[in-house]
Amino acid sequence: MKYPQPPNSDGSARDLLCLSHLRWNFVFQRPQHLMSRFAKHGRVFFVEEPEFDSAEPRMSVRVCERSGVQVVTPRLPADTQRPCHAILKALLQDFMETNGLHTPIVWFYTPMALQFFPDAITPAATVYDCMDELSLFRGAPTELARLEEDLLRRADLVFTGGVSLFEAKRDRHPQVYAFPSGVDVAHFAQARDQKDDYGEQQKIGRPRLGYAGVIDERLNLDLIAGVANARPDWEIVMIGPTAKIAPESLPRAANIHWLGMKDYQELPKYFAGWDVGIMPFALNDATRFISPTKTPEYLAAGLPVVSTPIRDVVRPYGDLGLAHIAESVEEFVAASEHAMRVGMGLKWRERSDEFLQTLSWDSVWNGMNSLIEKVREPEMVATAAGMGLNIPKGEIARV
């Protein structure tokens, strides 16, 4: 099926094909924020990993009502032999030809997608948005590192989800730029004005320490259990889907509440009922290069933040005094007590809000889009160079 070109605010048409390891209806995060903004200027096709639930190989497409992003899911028979790269490549090539995707911007979130990307396609620009070091995650495919090398050779631009990842990638490609994930300040600031408890929290006491995000091997479950045990009068609220760990491995206690995944639109209502936003991450390979989006989201909601010493939280949030850093159970309890006692003073709030203004998703998108346009329009690079406006290779994007 062919899908129409939406009207573009700037009068020009362009297509973007995004290949992602994350599903569109998973936690609303970096891919969803960015692709929703690109969809205001052209067609965006967000290709997910396959589902094995179809009578015959096909592509299903649904349009996200909020953004207009067209979510494309390969559907294969349950008995399809893995790996199935040839089938996926044929499906994708046919889909692109049918929908007139001849020279799209191609946006990779996972190097694994190279295995089924059609060789006949010549992208207008190839972008690798490296939001995580996937090779360090639990169960990472052995061929991922090799495929990333191939992707780095093909990519015109490499974006990283944080400064730590930038430092790890900057010598592997001439055009690497750090774009820490942004925040929708107005969305999360709604939490500051809400007074009533929302949802399940109406039956949960205070004080409340809250976490919102994916619940996987990156969390320090022993730390969560230890804090709950040390302070049984505190309530710990955990929001998010469980991935790659067994649900039975989650610590259970009367004051730990696993509320599951919530819609992005509801998060400020839950945040409004918390006293501290926590990030109880483990310090392991999977968290070595993470740059948690929840840090600025908690701050925008008006919450004091307590985190384990993740590098991209320590720098800049810890260094600026916008987050309390703690590692052991004792330190985490003490930091949380201090955060609740001190709260958000006027000066602290002003400093936090001033910093958050530099992290809007619009500014992240604008910075990325500016670089992509220079790749798509070579004459723009020559013009900018003549005016002294070219961006040095490898510069950290100031967003």
Spans of all domains in the chain: 15-178, 192-357
What's the confidence (pLDDT) of residue 396?
39
47 three-state secondary structure: strand
Residue 281 confidence (pLDDT) above 60: yes
Residue 202 confidence (pLDDT) above 90: yes
What's the confidence (pLDDT) of residue 60?
97
pLDDT top residue among 368 and 346: 368
Residue 12 confidence (pLDDT) above 60: no
Identical fold at 15-178 and 192-357? yes
What's the confidence (pLDDT) of residue 270?
98
Nearest to 218 by CA among 279, 278, 282: 282
Write phi, then psi, for 276 (nearest 5 degrees): -145, 140
Averaged pLDDT score across all residues of the chain: 90
Residue 394 confidence (pLDDT) above 50: no
Token pair listed for 16: 């973007």
Give the pLDDT band (50/70/90) at residue 4: very low
Give the pLDDT band (50/70/90) at residue 397: very low
CATH match for 192-357 among 3.10.620.30, 3.40.50.2000, 3.20.20.10, 3.90.1300.10: 3.40.50.2000
pTM over 0.85: yes
Give the pLDDT band (50/70/90) at residue 140: confident
Task: Give one DSSP letter per residue of 309-355, joined into a string.
Answer: --HHHIIIIITTTSSEE--SHHHHHHHHHHHHHH---HHHHHHHHHH
What's the confidence (pLDDT) of residue 13?
55
Cα angle 247, 216, 157; round to 5 = 150
What's the confidence (pLDDT) of residue 110?
95
Per-residue pLDDT averaged across 383-397, rounded? 39
Give the pLDDT band (50/70/90) at residue 387: very low
pLDDT tens digits for range 43-74: 999 999 999 999 999 999 999 999 999 999 99
Name the strands in the sheet holding 208-212, side by side, starting at the edge strand that comes first in the sequence.
256-260, 235-239, 208-212, 276-279, 305-307, 324-325
Task: Give one DSSP letter per residue of 183-252, joined into a string.
Answer: B-HHHHHGGGT--S--GGGGGS-SSEEEEES-BSTTB-HHHHHHHHHH-TTSEEEEES-B-SS-GGGS--
pLDDT tens digits for range 214-259: 999 999 999 999 999 999 999 999 999 999 899 999 999 999 999 9
pLDDT tens digits for range 284-303: 999 999 999 999 999 999 99
Give the pLDDT band (50/70/90) at residue 384: very low
Per-residue pLDDT averaged across 97-118, rounded? 96
CATH match for 15-178 among 3.40.50.1980, 2.60.40.10, 3.40.50.2000, 3.30.70.360: 3.40.50.2000
Residue 138 confidence (pLDDT) above 90: no
What's the confidence (pLDDT) of residue 346?
72
What's the confidence (pLDDT) of residue 334?
98
What's the confidence (pLDDT) of residue 3?
40
What's the confidence (pLDDT) of residue 391?
36
Residue 315 confidence (pLDDT) above 80: yes
Residue 95 confidence (pLDDT) above 60: yes
